[in-house]
Structure 1
Amino acid sequence: MATEPTEQAEPTDRRDIVQPTSVPARREVTPLELFFDLVYVFAIGQLSHQLLAHPTWTGAAQTLVLYLAVYAAWAYTTWAVTLVPAEDPRTRRMLLTVMLLGLFMNAAIPRAFGDAGWVFVATFLLIHLGRTVWLLGVGLDARDQEHWRRVLVWFAAAAPFWLTGAVTDGGARLLWWSAATLIELAGTWTAHPLPGRRLDSRQVGFAGGHLLERGRLFMIVAFGETIMTTGTALTSAPYAPMTLLTSGVALAGTVALFWLFFSRSEHIVRHYERTEDPIRAGRSGVYSLMVSVAGMIAAAAGDERVIAHPAHHAGLTTNLLLFAGPALFLGAQTWHGRTLFDDLPGARLTALSALVLGCAVTTKAPAYLAALIAAAIVVALAAFEERRSPGEAAAKPVASGPGP
């Protein structure tokens, strides 16, 4: 993913320095980009059902590996459209191609660790490698070309692990695909380094505002998929008072998470518009979005389990979904705010502590009670922040980081 950390080291060869491409901070998100998102929102439902069907540590690890691959396909493609706008006919063709491949990839999720492993991997690699090769052929400036060549090297290094996993079975597939995922995550986190290649990310033109808006709109449709999951569980359960209670609790928790995500978003938008290093802000946003959506998947799976069996003991599995899902969501948003501003809200830290404590003390309680407590924590936090003005937290100074 072209998510560069802040880099202050000079290029090893100063002849490579070029002026950054002029890229607007904000531009409208096109209908095609929203249409493209629908294929990946479909994947959120698939992943929730995958987690529900395999509520074990192994099942959770499988779901995580599949989720990281799906998210990478969406995020790298979204990043590409910040470099070559969707209005460009070449970009429209690329998006439609990735959308078609993504449909097959996401449809293979439930059987990715069965007989459809090759479908998942083949479509994923076609998206990942093909889009990167496409970017290298659309006339990016010298600095972006250099970065995407390094990205391609890292993707190619992970590809043999994906392919080997596709032709193995059982636990071996999970090991191979986990190794591939770790390689890609390491490349992303370190900005895809190769020996002797260093840049200053603040000199690179980048539509950070557009990436932020894409992330916000993706979250809206992701929340929509979460509500659909609750609605589907409701239609499958008997219409009894307990079903109505647990469905209402699930919806209240989702609405509270929605509010917590968007309540301070305009403050973040202003930071993206003013920052001298939008790539640094974009990198933070991409990671926080990745963890936030993972938290939503877990919470949606927990809500579905509670609606189906409200009177059963919650147990460790259900509690981890109910409490760890919102904790991941809040933790990611808190970290994102901390990387951008000198601001660490004490209320969010208190809520995170309450979620950990609630998870620990309600494992033997009825599932509906555990769900009620988890939802009450996030609703209370949302109500508190509604009354608290976010103010104008100061942007953090740009910190130095590793060069790519």
Structure 2
Amino acid sequence: MAADNPRGAMFRVIVPNQHSRVTNAELFFDLVFVFAVTQVSHTLLHHFTPLGAVHVTVLFLAVWWVWVYTAWVTNWLDPDLTPVRILIFLMMLGGLVLSTTIPTAFEGRGLWFAIAYATMQVGRTAFWLLATPRHRTAVRHNAIRILVWLSISAVLWIAGGVVEGDTRLFLWIVAVGWEYIAPAVRFWVPKLGFSSVEAWRVEGGHMAERCSLFVIIALGEAVVVNGATFAELEWNAANMIAFISALIGSIAMWWIYFHRGAEAGAELISKSVDSGRLARLAYTYLHMPIIAGIILTAVSDELVLKHPAGHSDVRTIVSTIGGPLVFLVGTILFKHAIRGFLQLSHGIGIILLLALCWFAADLSPLWLSVATTVIMIVVAVWESVSLGAAPEEEAHESASGGSA
């Protein structure tokens, strides 16, 4: 919220027991990533080979990382203040350049991708450092640590953009690996050492809402693309079933994530005295497979809508089973982080999807899609019934190691 806060400069004013809302400027910024998610899924669709999958994975990790780092910074800074808003709008410009270069990032526009990414990461962190008052020593040191790590990776990103082929891929893998390792080692730098847990404290409800909104972005992108694809097809029985299966599958994913998990995560992190550590694990790292699963499922939906008949080929099998599988792995780990136990419903869903691999080649893309959708419905209903029957006992189950 905006308020007179001379000691905190551009930082949010945190009111005890009051959730900081996600601002309109942040929502506006997130719209860029609707486009980014679409670009990632379409790039995978058109380059569905082992090498193409590696390329898209690197690009996806970059997209997620630049977004989640921005979510952290806007959790601390106040987006209702003009300088922070200007930062967000400049980040939108960088995000659009980043997104438009995704399809050809390993071809002709690699340097543009690298410059956009490095500028966003380094520029945003430098702004955060300059916006931090000198008396907030722990926060300033944290910003310096992160700026050092991101400056080193920026060199690798830009160097990769200058070269081509396997050398570019190698440098970008090193760069993204460097950035993903950084929070795990608490951004250690000489003299300053490791960052403290206190320096990572966040407004938990805001962080949970921000990540939930990214899940909505990914699911919404899938629904929009499916609708656009279906509108161009002949409306026969196979295409209609494929479209309905895709929509119900998206609804099942929404239900699995939001019905209990998102609310429980927001409540826990809002009350946690160790909110920074929980945000790093549950929202920074464990949301990656959740988003990746939704994107992979979107690829499957488009493949099935366009080619529902015949035998399922490798890319249809990998995307149709792999999407829900990666999503469930992400959600079971996320819910374990916030509840302390593994969801039995999710575990059974993972086992059923793995078992489906044995029969997938004998099924048409349409019926393979229907089968995975049914599995996701089973998971959603099972969890809802198990936890809904006695919601007041969930905390007790978590403490005693029970499962749903």
**Is TM (by shorter chain) over 0.5?**
yes
Give the AA of the match of 1:368: L
Deviation (angstroms), 1:298:
0.4
Aligned to 1:143: 138
Q: Greater RCO between the two (CA within 8 Å, min separation 6)? A: 1
Once residues 232 and 167 of structure 2 are traced to their aligned partners in structure 1, the CA distance between those partners, rounded to angstroms, is 36
Once residues 352 and 44 of structure 1 are traced to their aligned partners in structure 2, the CA distance between those partners, rounded to angstroms, is 25
Deviation (angstroms), 1:161:
1.9
Q: Deviations over 1:283-330 (max 9, x none)?
A: 122222222111111000011101111113212221111111111111
Once residues 199 and 43 of structure 1 are traced to their aligned partners in structure 2, the CA distance between those partners, rounded to angstroms, is 31
Q: How many residues align?
A: 378
Whether contact under 8 Å (1:48, 1:298) holds in the other structure is yes
Mapping for residues 152-231 of structure 1, pairs under 5 Å: 152-195=147-190, 197-202=193-198, 205-231=201-227
Aligned to 1:342: 340
Deviation (angstroms), 1:340:
2.3
Aligned to 2:20: 27
Whether contact under 8 Å (2:122, 2:154) holds in the other structure is no
Whether contact under 8 Å (2:295, 2:323) holds in the other structure is yes
Q: Deviations over 1:342-371 (max 9, x none)?
A: 221111101011111112321232111111
Whether contact under 8 Å (2:218, 2:295) holds in the other structure is no
2:46 equivalent among 37, 42, 53: 53
Once residues 181 and 46 of structure 1 are traced to their aligned partners in structure 2, the CA distance between those partners, rounded to angstroms, is 19
Aligned to 1:301: 299
Deviation (angstroms), 1:195:
4.2
Once residues 264 and 337 of structure 2 are traced to their aligned partners in structure 1, the CA distance between those partners, rounded to angstroms, is 14
Once residues 250 and 203 of structure 1 are traced to their aligned partners in structure 2, the CA distance between those partners, rounded to angstroms, is 43
- With over 3 angstroms needed to count, the CA separation of the structure-2 counterparts of 1:290 and 1:160, relative to structure 1, is same
Give the AA of the match of 2:50: W
Deviation (angstroms), 1:202:
4.3
2:374 equivalent among 366, 373, 376: 376
Aligned to 2:350: 352
Deviation (angstroms), 1:204:
5.2
Once residues 381 and 204 of structure 1 are traced to their aligned partners in structure 2, the CA distance between those partners, rounded to angstroms, is 34
Give the AA of the match of 1:361: F
Percent identical across equivalent pairs?
Answer: 29
Whether contact under 8 Å (1:223, 1:254) holds in the other structure is yes
Whether contact under 8 Å (1:39, 1:103) holds in the other structure is yes
Q: Deviations over 1:226-278 (max 9, x none)?
A: 10121122123222211111111111100000000101122222212221111
Once residues 190 and 226 of structure 1 are traced to their aligned partners in structure 2, the CA distance between those partners, rounded to angstroms, is 35
Secondary structure (helix, strand or coil) at the match of 2:286 reads helix
Give the AA of the match of 1:279: G
Give the AA of the match of 1:335: L
Once residues 137 and 251 of structure 2 are traced to their aligned partners in structure 1, the CA distance between those partners, rounded to angstroms, is 45
Once residues 87 and 179 of structure 1 are traced to their aligned partners in structure 2, the CA distance between those partners, rounded to angstroms, is 36
Q: Deviations over 1:151-187 (max 9, x none)?
A: 1111122122211211222232222211111111111
2:123 equivalent among 117, 124, 130: 130
Secondary structure (helix, strand or coil) at the match of 1:137 reads helix
The answer to whether 1:255 aligns with 2:246 is no
1:89 equivalent among 82, 93, 101: 82
Whether contact under 8 Å (1:45, 1:225) holds in the other structure is yes
Secondary structure (helix, strand or coil) at the match of 2:395 reads coil
- With over 3 angstroms needed to count, the CA separation of the structure-2 counterparts of 1:395 and 1:128, relative to structure 1, is farther
- With over 3 angstroms needed to count, the CA separation of the structure-2 counterparts of 1:126 and 1:203, relative to structure 1, is closer
Aligned to 1:40: 33
Deviation (angstroms), 1:114:
1.4
**TM-score relative to the length of structure 2:** 0.89
Whether contact under 8 Å (1:23, 1:205) holds in the other structure is no
More helix, by proportion? 2
Deviation (angstroms), 1:194:
2.2
Deviation (angstroms), 1:107:
0.9
User: After alignment, is 304-313 or 167-176 more displaced?
Assistant: 167-176
Once residues 84 and 209 of structure 2 are traced to their aligned partners in structure 1, the CA distance between those partners, rounded to angstroms, is 18
Once residues 84 and 199 of structure 2 are traced to their aligned partners in structure 1, the CA distance between those partners, rounded to angstroms, is 24
User: After alignment, is 190-199 or 105-114 more displaced?
Assistant: 190-199
Once residues 78 and 293 of structure 1 are traced to their aligned partners in structure 2, the CA distance between those partners, rounded to angstroms, is 15
Once residues 383 and 376 of structure 1 are traced to their aligned partners in structure 2, the CA distance between those partners, rounded to angstroms, is 10
Once residues 352 and 77 of structure 2 are traced to their aligned partners in structure 1, the CA distance between those partners, rounded to angstroms, is 44
Aligned to 1:12: none
- With over 3 angstroms needed to count, the CA separation of the structure-2 counterparts of 1:303 and 1:234, relative to structure 1, is same
The answer to whether 1:98 aligns with 2:91 is yes
Aligned to 1:11: none
